[in-house]
Structure 1
Amino acid sequence: MQQHNSLYRVYRPNAFKDVAGHQNIVEILTFELKNNNFDHAYLFAGQRGTGKTSVARILAKGINCLDLQNGDSCNACANCQTFNNNQFPDIYEIDAASNNGVDEIRNIKNNVQTLPIIGQYKVYIIDEVHMLSKAAFNALLKTLEEPPKHVVFILATTEYDKIPQTIISRCQTFNFKRISNQDLTARIDFIAHEEGYHLSQEAARQIYAISEGSLRDALNDLEQLMVVAYDSKKIDIEEVKTLFYIATKAEKLAIIHQILNHESQEVISYFEHSRQQGMDFNLLTLALIKMIKEIIEYQLTLDQSFLTELNVEDAMAFKTIPLNDLFLITDNLTQAYIKTKNTTAGFDYILLSVLKTIQTMDSQLSSGRSQAVVTKKVVLNPKQKEASDEIVSSPSTPDNQQIKVDQEPLRENLTTAELSEKEETSKTLSVDEYSEIINQSQPNPSKKINLNPLTKTTQSLEALIDHQHQLIEVSLNEPKINYLIDDLINVLMGVVQEENPTLRHELNDKLQKIFETNQANELISSDEAYQLSAFYGAKIAAANRSEIIITTDNFISANLINLSLVKPEISAALFKVLKDKYVVYGVSASMWKETKTTFADLKQKNFLPEYTQINFDNFYTANEKKATSHQLEQSQELLDKAAQLFDLTDVNFGDK
């Protein structure tokens, strides 16, 4: 039976041009060989699997090559051929882990005095040199400082801090950092292709994450995946997840969303389930930190080149999230990773760190911070279907009058952005100047709310999402139109009374059709979609012939819908799509869930109220008054604060 060679041995580079990464090191060594000006002692330091020994072997071969090609070994001369066959007598590879005594070093001291057999130089490669004993280092010191002219030492170590300074000062030191994502994934993709396999980009990135920049570890992982994918010859993210149980991109995004949305229960469930499956939580923590780093970079620069794990749509979903919230998550995760790396407490401490972050955000929210939104939905388990949540029937209601509604992921009480007001106390205003400010800020009772759609620039769905985010930002400073659970229960009573279970689905299909796209991801009805962009991502959860409940991820998106419907042109556009006029309640997913729970409880106790049909005109007139009165209150509050600030409380501006 033929012995199997591992991939890292089969594809070990034979020349500098084949080395993955370390471009600066390769350039320096190539220049030294090209000019025949190499040093007598080198120290290669860096983490495991980054190519220290491979580069040492290439350097040793280049030193004795008879026909260097622009500073790189030719792999064709007699010396190169002998070396490639592991038969070159003048190159010695010594493992200091098993030859770490003073006697072994004394043997080297004695042997260096003899001339090379066939090459120009004797080269001693001492791997894991930090394992040498103190006496061995002392024995090596003098020889390393002044070796014979025909001797070169190449020391390699993974623990640079254990090397005595007296040794370091006598060597030319090169730091082998972890191989970059781009260089490592390019190398393993090349090797996979050479072996007849197709490796997806996402799978390659996950292999890089698992290997932590070690090419040897990455090739060992690739070799295992090749066994799993032997029949299909395709290695995708699912194969990586199955073999190593890592979190997919969708799952990592979901975790970040859940932290920002304060969903402790969902986070705990995922962590506990993943622990049972054997997930490496240190690796997960690093992946989350990297993902948040990309989100922050994109927020600050809008430069897509920083996005390697994420795409633009992923990053845009966090557009309204304050950077302080993202920094808080990374700070706590980083602290947890540092404290638990290589310990058995990793899972517990990392989970507690995440819950601590959520608790901190909750405290900040309760102290009066304004609220921002993560508007993108991410399903934690892509294979798991969203379950239907059916309101349980009771003796007071026949079984055929049950109301079936879709349970949506909760996105309530999300992250917040602190709004600060800068007071220019050093500036003195005259009464006339102050009067001008007051006049400019004086509200017009007949003025509609300032929530106009922004200018459309493109027909793509991505641009529509960005447009919706801009509307959300505008709505943060607008009035809040909220509804009571009693209002929603009344709608459900109308649903029960009418017994038309298909109506909701028909209306929801009409709503979703607004945002249909073609194969180029362009909106088919772009004008209509932009006009109704506040409704993108919303869902009709319940409907009777005169009223509709529309649910969104969070209460701010729901408020945007309610504010938009105050504008006649927006409501007219929606009713044109739905083919009829409706009283529309925009509510958050969490309020909808609470409504269903309350409805089921009242039904079980036989306390459900009678249905009362709501007057269409009165409903929207009341909402418009809410918005206008809220603006008047805000403006009056502004006037009062300004008067106090400039000590003008006794000045009469003609309003009395």
Structure 2
Amino acid sequence: MNNNTTIYRKYRPSNFNSVAGHKNVVEILKKQLQTNKIAQSFLFAGQRGTGKTSIARILAKSVNCENLIEGLSCETCKNCVSSNEQKNPDIIEMDAASNNGVDEIRDIKNNVSTLPLIGKYKVYIIDEVHMLTKAAFNALLKTLEEPPKHAIFILATTEYSRIPATIISRCQIFNFKKIDKSAIKARVKFIIDNEGFKVEEEVLTEIAILCDGSLRDASNIIEQLINISSIQISMNDLKSIFYVAPKQEKIELILNIIQNNPQNIIKYFEDADNQGMDFDVLTLSLIEILKEIIEFKFLKLESYLSVLDQEDLNNFNEVEIKELFKIADNLSEVYAKTKGTNINFNYLLISILKLLDKSIGFTIKDEIVNKNIANHKINSLVFKPSEAEETIQTTKPLTYAASKDFMSEFNEKAKEEIKQEEIKNVEHNLFSNQNQTNKTLEFTFNKSEEIMETNKQEKISQEIIVDQKQVLFETVDSIIFDVKQKIFENENKKSFLVSIIEVINLLLKANKDTREENQIILGNIFNVDHEGKFVNKELANELSPLIGFKIIASSENQILLRHDNFKNVKYLCYSLLEESFLEKIKTIFKGRIIIPISETLWNDIKIEYKQLKENNTLPEYIPRSFNEYYEEKRKSLLSSSVDEKTLKAASELFNIEDMEVE
């Protein structure tokens, strides 16, 4: 390697084919070159090290290439050669960070009218354009709006929000996202192989995490590793520079969290902090591992594994998926709050210990419970009412208080086998898997002297069978999760649909006062106290299908509700056909008709309503009564249903193999 050339500069892409990631950006620019329909003002926006300047230079070279081949520069003509040597007089680069004044922009304005010397276009690349002063931006406006035919401007920025709207509106914008990990790993391996070194697969994965989507940062990491490594670049080499945790350490940390082992967790974090670990990188790595474990538990496919292997996954065979979700949520929250700060070590450790505190005790799967207590036949548990209420935690599986003096045995639970071909997507698997995880029993050993004494005095006299349907959920998150599960369970059931004309009819009589009144009623249903628990949990549970809906319009006898997810809309429509739910709605909302719609339908309705109003063709308002409206919905649903047995009998009678109802 030439000591005067850094890895990043040596392997900087020179044509579109060697660009890592950004396939959409590359394809659009190549298409413009092929059709000779090239914009004259570009704005490249994105984080550092993602290739904005590199692609700007490639584009500047390509527009002047004399032998362009399918949007790719030939690399042999005089324009390409001079561009590669950075001696092309028609490509002018300016760093706005150090040349940010109005005088520099005036120089560009004065020179832009002169014709290019050797190529077809003069290309101006202004890097870090957000650093220009307000006066400089104003001076640039007219030039961007009406540039000479031979001039192209390419602006690059890492802070898109600081670019004036007047500049943005005059440019074709390309967003440079973080380069995906697979592209970074492939490019890093190419560079290392080209330099004559070998590298472990785990090192590639860790570099992809460390660089956080920046190929420039990845190149800098490679350069440091090459300087201290022999032929093989190992995890020890990477750890000696950046102190990243090896995969096995991260797996052990997750297992310690699951097993509620605070001693090992605290020791690991203190040792890691003393050695200078980057806890942002650690957090991201742990989330990546958890993601792969969860994906594998759902799909049982190794094709999605990039960090773990089957041997690693075996450590989590007995771990319930809900535990993995809790840990992942906790880590994601920590990362969002502490990224780039100097408190991430303390906050991460405290958050993990807090997670342990929420689940003191240990979770045992049914088969292990049965094995351990096969010889202990205890028929029942007796709770005082207050104890039972405190014991049932709505966001966890059912929990039983017990003392050292007795053990518990529960009936075996039927386990559903999830067929792989029935797995539609991760969300469906979550609900399907929940049917199994809800059967997991969690024993919590409470060392409170008062409960121990109470349990000694009580005699086990009757069997209590807890029906989960009677459990009242106390928090918003638990209600949302329960609704999602019910949506999955009832997804094949029919429900009525709402038409655009129904909503327009409501909008004709909509008024602000009734909307605000109904919004207060809806808010009170799911009102929570200072602990985040529902003030009226019975009401919140009874009307749970309304969770997540927003009132967007209301008239004297109708309410329009909107939800981002169509599945929630369908589930509410289905619930409105149930007598008990409908009666509750009628009472709470004073006999007003509930009309639920999705975000997509609402967008269509707004367009339709606007057109009707502009054309003065809005229909006449049709009053509707509560009972009449839902009775019509029931009838329309029944009339659209055909009994399968009747259909089969008819097909046999008329000797028709495939009989369909239209």
- Would you call these one fold, judging by a TM-score over 0.5? yes
CA contact (8 A) 1:370 1:418 kept: no
Q: Are 1:95 and 2:95 an aligned pair? A: yes
Judged with a 3 Å threshold, the aligned counterparts in structure 2 of structure 1 residues 125 and 418 are, in CA distance, closer, same or farther, namely same
Q: Deviations over 1:315-372 (max 9, x none)?
A: 343243333322222222222222222221111111111111111122xx4xxx8535
Judged with a 3 Å threshold, the aligned counterparts in structure 2 of structure 1 residues 317 and 640 are, in CA distance, closer, same or farther, namely closer
Letter in 1 for 2:202: E
Looking at structure 1, the residues matched to 412 and 273 of structure 2 have their Cα atoms a distance apart, in angstroms, of 49
Q: Are 1:371 and 2:364 an aligned pair? A: yes
Shift of 1:639: 8.2
The match for 2:263 is 265
**Percent identity, aligned pairs only?**
51
User: How many equivalent pairs are there?
Assistant: 404
The match for 2:158 is 158
Q: Are 1:637 and 2:637 an aligned pair? A: no
The match for 1:240 is 238
Looking at structure 1, the residues matched to 160 and 365 of structure 2 have their Cα atoms a distance apart, in angstroms, of 47
Q: Deviations over 1:52-86 (max 9, x none)?
A: 11100000000000000111111011110111111
Q: Secondary structure at the match of 2:359?
A: helix
Judged with a 3 Å threshold, the aligned counterparts in structure 2 of structure 1 residues 119 and 258 are, in CA distance, closer, same or farther, namely same
CA contact (8 A) 2:12 2:54 kept: yes
Letter in 1 for 2:206: Q
The match for 1:608 is none
Shift of 1:310: 1.3
The match for 1:118 is 118
The match for 2:336 is 338
Judged with a 3 Å threshold, the aligned counterparts in structure 2 of structure 1 residues 136 and 302 are, in CA distance, closer, same or farther, namely same
Shift of 1:477: 8.1
Looking at structure 1, the residues matched to 358 and 149 of structure 2 have their Cα atoms a distance apart, in angstroms, of 65
Shift of 1:240: 1.0
The match for 1:249 is 247
Q: 1:292 aligns with which of 290, 293, 297?
A: 290
Letter in 2 for 1:190: F
Query: Which shifted more, 282-291 or 52-61?
Result: 282-291
Shift of 1:4: 1.6
Looking at structure 2, the residues matched to 136 and 152 of structure 1 have their Cα atoms a distance apart, in angstroms, of 18
Judged with a 3 Å threshold, the aligned counterparts in structure 2 of structure 1 residues 71 and 641 are, in CA distance, closer, same or farther, namely closer
The match for 2:485 is none
Q: Secondary structure at the match of 2:316?
A: coil
Looking at structure 1, the residues matched to 322 and 248 of structure 2 have their Cα atoms a distance apart, in angstroms, of 23
The match for 1:404 is none
The match for 1:136 is 136
Judged with a 3 Å threshold, the aligned counterparts in structure 2 of structure 1 residues 417 and 315 are, in CA distance, closer, same or farther, namely farther
Looking at structure 1, the residues matched to 467 and 95 of structure 2 have their Cα atoms a distance apart, in angstroms, of 77
Letter in 1 for 2:359: M
CA contact (8 A) 2:364 2:442 kept: no
Looking at structure 2, the residues matched to 299 and 129 of structure 1 have their Cα atoms a distance apart, in angstroms, of 47
Shift of 1:478: 11
Looking at structure 1, the residues matched to 330 and 76 of structure 2 have their Cα atoms a distance apart, in angstroms, of 55
Letter in 2 for 1:238: N
The match for 1:205 is 205
CA contact (8 A) 2:327 2:355 kept: yes
The match for 2:51 is 51
- Greater RCO between the two (CA within 8 Å, min separation 6)? 1
Q: Secondary structure at the match of 2:295?
A: helix
Looking at structure 2, the residues matched to 161 and 289 of structure 1 have their Cα atoms a distance apart, in angstroms, of 29
Judged with a 3 Å threshold, the aligned counterparts in structure 2 of structure 1 residues 328 and 53 are, in CA distance, closer, same or farther, namely same
In our comparison, the structure showing a higher alpha carbon Rg is 1
CA contact (8 A) 1:90 1:116 kept: yes
Shift of 1:296: 1.7
Matches within 5 A, 1:389-468: 418-419=396-397
Judged with a 3 Å threshold, the aligned counterparts in structure 2 of structure 1 residues 268 and 95 are, in CA distance, closer, same or farther, namely same
Shift of 1:293: 1.6
CA contact (8 A) 1:185 1:205 kept: yes
CA contact (8 A) 2:100 2:131 kept: yes
Q: Secondary structure at the match of 2:114?
A: coil
The match for 1:501 is none
Shift of 1:90: 0.6
Looking at structure 1, the residues matched to 138 and 296 of structure 2 have their Cα atoms a distance apart, in angstroms, of 53
Q: Secondary structure at the match of 2:463?
A: helix
Structure 2, unaligned stretches of length 5 or more?
Answer: 369-393, 400-410, 414-435, 445-459, 471-662
- The runs of at least 4 aligned residues of structure 1 exceeding 4 Å deviation read 416-421, 476-480, 638-642
Matches within 5 A, 1:484-633: none
Looking at structure 2, the residues matched to 479 and 95 of structure 1 have their Cα atoms a distance apart, in angstroms, of 62
The match for 1:278 is 276
Looking at structure 2, the residues matched to 130 and 144 of structure 1 have their Cα atoms a distance apart, in angstroms, of 15
Letter in 1 for 2:463: E
Letter in 2 for 1:69: I
Looking at structure 1, the residues matched to 211 and 2 of structure 2 have their Cα atoms a distance apart, in angstroms, of 28
CA contact (8 A) 2:365 2:441 kept: no
The match for 2:327 is 329
Looking at structure 1, the residues matched to 200 and 210 of structure 2 have their Cα atoms a distance apart, in angstroms, of 15
CA contact (8 A) 1:371 1:417 kept: no
Shift of 1:133: 1.1
Looking at structure 2, the residues matched to 479 and 233 of structure 1 have their Cα atoms a distance apart, in angstroms, of 51
Shift of 1:270: 0.5
The match for 1:224 is 224
Shift of 1:297: 1.9
CA contact (8 A) 1:22 1:179 kept: yes
The match for 1:28 is 28
Q: Are 1:71 and 2:71 an aligned pair? A: yes
Letter in 2 for 1:272: E
Judged with a 3 Å threshold, the aligned counterparts in structure 2 of structure 1 residues 92 and 477 are, in CA distance, closer, same or farther, namely closer
CA contact (8 A) 1:124 1:152 kept: yes
Looking at structure 2, the residues matched to 641 and 136 of structure 1 have their Cα atoms a distance apart, in angstroms, of 71
